[in-house]
């Protein structure tokens, strides 16, 4: 039996601002639905990923910006860094470690992401 992680809820203060930010990063908008006056559901997926993020109104009681340690893996860390810089997001310098190369960014609320390149996967 497989157990697949397919959706992670992020707490945000401004749904439209978060949607626009993640579109800029390159995530695809899968759903953006107003269910009721109390519930809006936005689901977005990074290109090539089987796991999505969701945020909106009425989805979580977590404090906006409280999610730390989310991670995506890319096939080219320099290309990912160049893309983020081109859209106005400073991911910092590439941090080269034995287990991978890393950059990072945070969304407008402060939810933090790590971007990892694993050179041994591409050897």
Task: Map out the domains of the chain as residue ranges.
Answer: 7-122
The two three-digit tokens of residue 95, written as one number: 């941090």
pTM: 0.93
Question: Measured between alpha carbons, how far is 65 from 4 in angstroms, rounded to an integer?
Answer: 25
pLDDT at 3 over 90: yes
Coil, helix or strand for 103? strand
Arithmetic mean of pLDDT, 41-67: 97
- Domain covering 7-122 in this structure, CATH number: 3.10.180.10
Span 84-120, pLDDT tens digits: 999 999 999 999 999 999 999 999 999 999 999 998 7
């Amino acid at each position: 039996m497989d157990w697949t992680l397919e959706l992670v809820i992020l707490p945000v203060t401004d749904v439209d601002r978060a949607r626009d930010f993640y579109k800029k990063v390159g995530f695809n908008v899968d759903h953006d639905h107003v269910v009721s006056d109390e519930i809006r559901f936005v689901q977005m997926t990074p290109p090539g990923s089987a796991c999505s993020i969701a945020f909106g109104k009425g989805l979580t009681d977590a404090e906006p910006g409280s999610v730390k340690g989310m991670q995506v893996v890319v096939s080219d860390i320099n290309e990912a860094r160049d893309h983020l810089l081109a859209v106005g997001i400073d991911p910092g310098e590439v941090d080269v470690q034995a287990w991978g190369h890393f950059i990072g960014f945070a969304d407008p609320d402060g939810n933090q992401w790590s971007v990892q390149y694993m050179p041994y996967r591409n050897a």
